């Protein structure tokens, strides 16, 4: 989830492309990014439509997350090979877009709390499963590049953490069906908005550090 596009690294193993200076400038990584951009863009359209049809704020929050990821991966692709200062500025753009998404999700969630229409659990569940499959595919495509500079690492962490977010949407669908109330859906939407904000703060901090470093020029 763009929600969780935090550049903080969890260093996992070393091997092919597992050096932290890898800046993404390889044909294989570019191809992988294009594949993941296509997956995320497609799932944004599917989930936003399904969220509107099923009245699910959690699905719509996850759809915005797919949109955020599509834009984030596009920016990551555009700045590969560019100077550190350019990559840091791009990270700031990503972060502020996450803040905007968080506010949008919180606003629509508050609106539903006031209106309190019931989300349709079966649509939430089916689309949540499709979203999970798309994110697992993204994780597998990007796995060999899970280490590298902050630009490369954030792409991997986005996809990995998105899969975790999809599990939360599925849990919300089950709880909506079980409790016959919309509250689990709203709680998950609020949780995802919080993740967007947390990730935005982490990215802004790292970008500030990169811009202050001597290598940023």
Name which of 72, 66, 67, 103 is nearest 90 in CA terms. Answer: 72
Has residue 11 been placed in a domain?
no
- Are 112 and 182 in contact by the 8 Å Cβ rule? The answer is yes
DSSP annotation of 148 reads: S
DSSP annotation of 2 reads: G
**Is 134's pLDDT higher than 60?**
yes
SS3 assignment, position 181: coil
pLDDT value for 147: 64
Q: Which residue has the higher pLDDT, 16 or 41?
A: 41
The pLDDT of 163-183, averaged and rounded, is 82
Q: Quote the number of domains for the chain.
A: 1
Residue span of the structural domain in which 140 resides: 22-216
Question: According to the per-residue pLDDT averaged within each range, which of 32-41, 76-85, 87-96, 184-193 is highest?
Answer: 32-41
Has residue 151 been placed in a domain?
yes
**Is 10's pLDDT higher than 50?**
no
Q: Which residue has the higher pLDDT, 147 or 141?
A: 141
Has residue 8 been placed in a domain?
no
Has residue 58 been placed in a domain?
yes
15 token code pair: 């091997």
Q: What is the pLDDT of residues 86-96, one digit of tens each?
A: 878 887 887 88
Instruction: Report the CATH number at residue 154.
Output: 1.20.1510
pTM: 0.66
The span from the CA of 62 to the CA of 50, in Å, is: 11
pLDDT value for 38: 92
- Are 175 and 181 in contact by the 8 Å Cβ rule? The answer is no
Has residue 72 been placed in a domain?
yes
- Are 40 and 138 in contact by the 8 Å Cβ rule? The answer is yes
142 token code pair: 């990007």
**Is 15's pLDDT higher than 70?**
no
Has residue 152 been placed in a domain?
yes
């Amino acid at each position: 989830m763009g929600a969780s596009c935090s550049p903080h690294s969890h260093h996992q193993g070393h091997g092919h492309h597992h050096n932290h200076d890898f800046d993404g400038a390889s044909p294989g990584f570019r191809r992988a990014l294009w594949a993941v951009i296509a997956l995320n863009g497609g799932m944004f359209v599917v989930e936003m439509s399904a969220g509107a049809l099923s009245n699910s704020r959690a699905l719509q929050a996850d759809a915005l997350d797919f949109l955020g990821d599509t834009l984030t991966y596009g920016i990551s692709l555009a700045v590969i090979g560019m100077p550190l200062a350019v990559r840091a500025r791009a990270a700031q753009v990503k972060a502020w877009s996450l803040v905007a998404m968080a506010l949008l999700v919180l606003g629509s969630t508050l609106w539903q709390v006031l209106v309190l229409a019931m989300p349709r659990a079966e649509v939430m569940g089916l689309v949540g499963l499709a979203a999970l499959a798309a994110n697992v595919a993204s994780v597998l495509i990007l796995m060999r590049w899970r280490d590298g500079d902050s630009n490369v690492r954030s792409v991997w962490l986005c996809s990995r953490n998105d899969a975790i977010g999809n599990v939360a949407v599925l849990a919300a669908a089950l709880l909506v069906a079980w409790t016959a109330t919309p509250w689990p859906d709203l709680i998950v939407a609020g949780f995802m908005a919080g993740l967007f904000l947390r990730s935005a703060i982490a990215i802004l901090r790292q970008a500030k550090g990169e811009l202050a470093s001597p290598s940023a020029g």
